[in-house]
Structure 1
Amino acid sequence: MMVVKVQDIVDFCSARALGVELDDVLKDVTIHSQEVRPGSLFVALPGSRTHGHQFVPEVWEKGGIAMVEKTFGPITGPSLVVESPLMAMGTLTRSLVDARHITVVGITGSVGKTSAKELIAATLQSRFVVGKSQQNYNTAIGIPLSFLRSPHSMTHFVAEMGMRALGEIAHLTTITPPDVAVITNIGPNHLESLGSIKNIQRAKGEILQGLKPQGTAVLNADDPLVRELGEHLSGHPVLWFGHKSGDVLIDHVHMLDTATEVTLKYQGDVMTIRIPWLGEQHGSNVAAAFLVGTALGLHPDEIRSGLEQVDPGTSRLQRKSLGSLMILADYYNASPLSMTMSLQVLAANKAMGRRIAVLGDMLELGTQEESGHWQVGTAASRRADIILAVGPRAQIIAKAANVEKPGIAIWVANLDEAYGWLENHLRAGDVVLLKASHGMNFDELYQRLKDWGGPS
């Protein structure tokens, strides 16, 4: 946790302190009242159903400090009164970035930004004290929370920047302005809310407009939409990664049973890096992390060391043994590209049993909903032995797969039917991929399989 005094919030955020000492140091910062302990700062934010103000009395009972709007009252416990708690969180974060001269790496992209964040943080940890966006904290709420919970001695912060609308990433760059900005790729995620792929490109490109003076862009040369952004960027150096061209070239990616080997070419040298994650897509993520490391002064040996020590548990795709089954669980988000990447991992798995792809709806594809699901069904028919498609949109996955290979796909309407099919049809030794958009709640399906324990 960053060492933050009440006085800092008063000075940086123009807060009015009531019932609290200015020299008091915050023990934690949270937006959840159940996490409050003595000395915690509870930031009372408006929600879709309730306002954080509702929980302030509970916060006071637990010995916490409440950050509230000026309209809140009566105030009978320790409080910091501000115009907007959300804005105050952002202002405090930006003020600490500037005051403590913290180097920021900002990352966005349609697919792979969380994986890239973890690999970049691991790279930088070979020399620096690093903080990073926690879990999926990539918003104007999540980034300040992650920042404030980072080590006080932090020198570098890796910020994952997500968006659902134009202007959101631009705002995030005012909170944590990047010294290095990374764009992994640009695809149809959030097409439903943004309306066109050009708007998605504009939204992702906002991270480049938010670069600090002399800041560096690290961009995917393989992606034409990203390349277009980089070719029109002026006043900043651009470093490219890619399979065919770039400052670092991805020469070869090879999946092992529990790891992936990535061979890079850089300035005439060849380097092979082994990370404890699965997936050919990590070639691009490793290359991006490599360039971030070089941009921030790391030696290639330091970069390799950091990357190879990345936490296996931070990979989006988790390999889990469940009795006699092997589960490949990747259900945080889904797009045609990420679905295909996960299917590649399934296809490469050296299994005794069958390769079963359990694929759910991909949400927010807008006008590409039908074509995206059809694309995934076609890809799945070439990489799985059996496909179980789950959800109304996934009917298209099953239809496309069965066009390619009649009878390979089964469609079910919901999680209950999916679990019932799996319980009745799975065999010892099967490898099962669980992949869908987060809104499909495939984590519940995995939990039910875990409670069952698999076939005997």
Structure 2
Amino acid sequence: MKKSLQQIAEWLTIENQSFPETIVTGVSIDTRTITKGDLFIPFRGEAVNGHRFVEQAFEKGAAASLWMIDEPNPPAHLPLIFVEDPELALQKMAECYRNEHQATFIGITGSNGKTSSKDILAGALSPYFKVQKTIGNFNNQLGLPITILQLDEDTEVSVLEMGMSGFGEIEFLTNLARPHYAIITNIGEAHMQDLGSREGIAKAKFEIVKGLSEEGILFYDGDEPLLQNLVAKTPHLKTQAFGFSQELNLAASQIKATAQGSSFHVEGLIQGDFFISVLGEHQVKNTLSAMLVSKSLGLTDEQIREALKKVVLTDMRMQLVPVGDLLFINDAYNAAPTSMHAAIQFVEQTTIRNEKWLVLGDMLELGNEEKKMHEGIAGHIHPEEISYVCLYGPRMKWLYNKLQETFDAEHLVYSENEYAPIIEKIQSHATNESILLVKGSRGMKLEKIIHSIELA
């Protein structure tokens, strides 16, 4: 983005203010990450007032700053744009820049796999287009506008992750981004406490179609009945379904895992054998949506095949981490029952190594169903396939109680709030034949277990 303060003022319909010929090349809400040319946006909260950091933002290279009209003592010597509400101003600027931009916009939502799908899609397109994607978890009412305003003017494809915790949030984001293509990765159980049921979650995710352009296409998990029903109730919608059922627009089969990644076969709008350097059937399904979007953007099957070989995911998504003789699968970024079951299934089926460990942490934000859902994991863990189970967090006590029926004390470890017992078990019993899945919700920070063993 390269806009003068006067142009930004016009976006915000601001009158009776004069501005120097200052050029803004981005936006920032945090002085710790500000870069030269940014417009600083201060928020006033209960604990912190961002206006206190405006002068510091300029010291670090900010070109200009917003300032709330009712905030006293604006620095007279700095270029400021006075607004009533910085958050609304940020969103309005993003809307205006989006309206001017010529990129193809792609929105991605879903209970699990949003970030992986974003990374795979961006990786598949990057050899052929200039692509920018959501960085980190900038996927909410503040993060998505910032992502849009950080787009270079010559960006050809923008891949936008859209997160939510309640109804109406995806609708707001999709109406702001107005995507040409939309992806719903799946429907799980995350945010059950806010949305009440999987039906509620599906309805909230499906809001993404409300901002979809008239000629746009929704790509969705065709194995999910809840999405099938919503699509059937929206007959005008252009859709393509992906998954494992052979009647879908793109179906994967013959999935094989190696220490390098996953090979698989597809039938439908794309034909043939493919490979990604990512583990897990659920990641293959995430890849299918990227393949369909790539095909819609004009790439050939061979171009897609070659690009997928080089895809790299954000850390802590089924990431293979060798530590000495041990081999970890770091999937510790997040967890919900659907993704937990998928990861456990992968470990049970893999032939990469023979001795299989599960290191599992609490699944958060499951509401009234959390006890049932933690206990339910027991049905997916088979003692004939899994050698050791290590559980961490107060909610995992429910699973621990269940697994005591099938695992003896030597092969089952539980710790409510300390990593040490789990680390000690791994260090004393895991070998060069061991593969260890580490998975839990973000708040459990299970990657610390891997880091501690790396440093030992």
TM-score for the superposition, normalised by structure 2: 0.91
Identity of aligned residues (%): 28
d(CA) in 1 for partners of 2:316, 2:417: 27
| Corresponding position of 1:409 | 412
Once residues 51 and 98 of structure 1 are traced to their aligned partners in structure 2, the CA distance between those partners, rounded to angstroms, is: 31
Deviation by residue 1:348-398 (Cα, 9 ceiling, x = unmatched): 454667322111100011132122112223323454210111111001222
Deviations 1:289-322 (A, max 9, x none): 1211223333222222332221255572211122
Amino acid paired to 1:182: I
SS at match of 1:140: coil
Letter in 1 for 2:12: C
> Counterparts of 2:16 and 2:66 in 1: how far apart (Å)?
9
Partner AA of 2:260 in structure 1: T
Larger mean Cα displacement after TM superposition, 350-359 or 75-84 = 350-359
Q: Does 1:60 align with 2:62?
A: no
Partner residue, 1:392: 394
Query: Structure 2: where are the runs of 5+ without partners?
Result: none
1:449 partner letter: I
Counterpart residue number, 2:32: 34
- 1:17 CA drift (Å): 9.9
Q: Is the 8 A contact 2:263 2:273 kept in 1?
A: yes
1:201 correspondence with 2:202: yes
Contact 1:111/1:187 (<8 A) preserved: yes
SS in 1 for 2:424: helix
- Tell me if structure 1 keeps the 8 A contact 2:180–2:217: yes
CA 259–63 in structure 1, closer or farther in 2 if over 3 Å, else same: closer
What's the CA shift for 1:16? 7.0
CA deviation profile, 1:155-184 (whole Å, cap 9, x unmatched): 211111110010000000122111111111
Distance verdict in 2 for CA 1:432–1:242, change over 3 Å: closer
Matched with 2:424 is 421
Structure 1 position 57, deviation (Å): 2.9
Which residue does the alignment assign to 2:436?
A: 432
Q: Which residue of 1 aligns with 2:446?
A: 442
Cα pair 1:415 1:445 within 8 Å, conserved: no
3-state SS of paired residue (1:369): helix
Alignment of 1:118-137 (within 5 A): 118-137=119-138
Other structure's SS at 1:321 match: strand
Contact conserved, 2:391 with 2:413, CA < 8 A, in 1? yes
Aligned ranges 1:50-449 → 2 under 5 Å: 50-64=48-62, 65-76=64-75, 77-244=78-245, 245-267=247-269, 270-313=271-314, 316-350=317-351, 354-382=355-383, 383-407=385-409, 408-419=411-422, 421-422=424-425, 425-429=428-432, 430-449=434-453
Contact 1:353–1:427 (Cα < 8 Å) also in 2: no
- Could you tell me how far apart the structure 1 residues matched to 2:423 and 2:127 are? 47
> Is the contact between residue 378 and residue 404 of structure 1 (CA under 8 Å) also seen in structure 2?
no
Please provide the CA RMSD for this pair: 2.4
Could you list the per-position Cα deviations for residues 95-117 of structure 1 after superposition, in whole angstroms to 9, with x for gaps in the alignment? 22221222211111111111111
Which amino acid in structure 2 is aligned with residue 324 of structure 1?
D
Q: Which runs of 5+ in 1 are unaligned?
A: none
Q: Does 1:5 align with 2:4?
A: yes
* AA matched with 1:10: A
Looking at structure 1, the residues matched to 237 and 219 of structure 2 have their Cα atoms a distance apart, in angstroms, of 11
The AA in structure 2 aligned to 1:6 is: L
Q: Distance in 2 between matches of 1:57 and 1:315?
A: 37
Secondary structure at the aligned position of 1:377 is classed as helix
Give the Cα separation in 2 of the matches to 1:376 and 1:75: 56
Which is worse superposed, 421-430 or 211-220? 421-430
Read off the aligned partner of 1:71 and give its amino acid letter: D
In 2, the alpha carbon distance for the partners of 1:361 and 1:48 equals: 30
Q: Which segment drifts farther, 200-209 or 52-61? A: 52-61
- Separation (CA, whole Å) in 2 of partners of 1:412 and 1:118: 34
Whole-angstrom CA distance in 2 between matches of 1:209 and 1:284: 24
User: Quick one: distance in 1 between partners of 2:52 and 2:422?
Assistant: 39
Equivalenced residue count is: 449
SS for the counterpart of 1:90 is helix
- CA drift of 1:235 comes to 2.1
Distance 1:16 1:73 in 2: 20
* Separation in 2, partners of 1:219, 1:263: 19
Tell me which moved more, 272-281 or 370-379.
Answer: 370-379
TM-score, normalised to structure 1, is: 0.91
Quick one: structure 1 residues 7 and 381, their matched pair in 2 at CA, closer, same or farther if it must change by over 3 Å? farther
Distance 1:250 1:38, change over 3 A: closer
Note the alpha carbon deviations across 1:210-252, whole angstroms, 9 max, x for none.
2111211111110011111111113221111121221112122
> What is the distance in 1 between the residues matched to 2:254 and 2:6?
53
Deviating above 4 A after TM superposition, structure 1's stretches of 4 or more consecutive aligned residues are: 15-20, 312-315, 348-353
TM superposition shift of 1:144 = 2.1
Check the 8 A contact 2:119/2:314 in 1, yes or no. no
SS across alignment from 2:291? helix
Q: Distance in 2 between matches of 1:419 and 1:314?
A: 22
Aligned partners of 1:277 and 1:315 also within 8 Å:
no
Q: Deviations over 1:48-87 (max 9, x none)?
A: 6323223223223334232232222311123222222222
Secondary structure at 1:213 match in 2? coil
Structure 2 counterpart of 1:72, which letter?
A: E
Structure 1 pair 406/124, CA: closer, same or farther in 2 (3 Å)?
same
